[in-house]
Chains A and B, each alone.
Chain A
Amino acid sequence: MAKERLSNEINAGSMADIAFLLLIFFLVTTTIDVDKGVLVKLPPWSEEPPETLTLNKRNVFSVLVNADNALLVRGEPAEVGDLRERAREFIRNPENRPDLAEKPEKAIISLRNDRGTKYSTYLEVYNELKAAYRELREDEAQKKYQKSYEFLPRDKKKEINSIIPLVLSEAEPTDFGAE
């Protein structure tokens, strides 16, 4: 009896081993990489066909992608690599050319693809157009506040967004190419 009373302390020596075991389990199952992607807001669905707006041709930057993943920008064949630069020039129109957008608020980018277009091409094109807008907003932020757009407070971001609104309209895809 006396012997039992002496050893009334739990041996905590193996605690570290147990903790290690759990630690290794969580180490193995952990996936730190967070999901990243291109954020898009879809237009709400409506049964009625959309109104036909008559737009000034100079304000529309049409991008067509066919089933062979080739691009047609404003009626001429183009490369994905030039898209960002061309879109920027179109929206900004620094030289006030009569065939480019009147002002950034009026610029509309119209994107249309085929049902046979590869998703990777579509995303690449979308990414380039979004990048053009991001760069323009960045330039605007630098010019106005000498600060990067990322670090601006929310109201100033909104202000810049209203100067350069992202208008990217996606038309119903064509159905020429084989899926």
Chain B
Amino acid sequence: MSKFNKKRGKSKPAISTASLPDIIFMLLFFFMVVTVMRDSTLKVAVNVPAATELTKLEKKSLVNFLYIGKPQEQYQAQYGTSPRLQLGDKISAIDDIPLFLEEHRAGVPEKQRTGITSSLKVDGDVTMGLVTDIKTELRKANQLKINYSAKVKTE
């Protein structure tokens, strides 16, 4: 025991904080890399259903998002209360899908274009009529890889 007491009594070395910025920078870079900023504000209310057979969407740059749901309250005067489709950050008609897909496709390197996935974020209460019309439009535009966005089901 006396061994420890001796050392403690002699000096009070201050902890060096010189490496603190480096540690913080390391954390900073980590978060900078993993951050995905939300690129579009949602104008429709989307609450996706839960499922078990889920696949992760790996490459964000290869994914385009189609939101389907009822317009949110502040937009209901303008767009009504029946479910609508949102492409990018505006509520659109189904006819706008080919142009939307083409715009996204143009920004993807040619080699990776076969991997483009459309993520359908559909509210659980939407009826299949609108969803089917959108699926048909996607098929016409030759966008066949789609992903029904869903939450993880906890049983």
Contact = CB atoms under 8 A, between A and B. Distances in A.
Interface residues of A, number: 47
Interface string B5-46: 000000000000100110011011001101111100000000
A86 interface: no
A118 B127 contact: yes
A12 B21 CA distance: 9
B63 A35 contact: yes
Given A19-B25, A23-B27, A39 B145 contact: yes
Contacts of A172: 132
Contacts of B145: 39, 41-42
Contact of B49 (A36, A40, A119): A119
Contacts of A15: 21
Contact of A37 (B54, B123, B135): B54
A162 interface: no
Interface in A11-35: 12, 15-16, 19-20, 22-23, 26-27, 29-32, 34-35
Nearest to B27: A23
Given A173-B132, A175-B129, 6 more contacts: A27-B31, A36-B151, A38-B53, A45-B136, A118-B127, A119-B122
Contacts of B27: 23
Interface string A106-121: 0000000111111110
B129 A179 contact: yes
Interface residues on B, range: 35 or more
Contacts of A116: 127-129
A163 interface: no
A26 B34 CA distance: 9
B74 interface: no
Ranked nearest first, the 10 interchain pairs of A and B with the lowest CB-CB distance are: A120-B124, A115-B129, A26-B31, A45-B139, A19-B24, A120-B49, A37-B149, A37-B147, A127-B51, A15-B21
A34 B55 CA distance: 10
A37 B148 contact: yes
Given A12-B21, A23-B28, A124-B51, A36 B150 contact: yes
B119 interface: yes
A31 B51 contact: no
A123 B28 contact: no
B94 interface: no
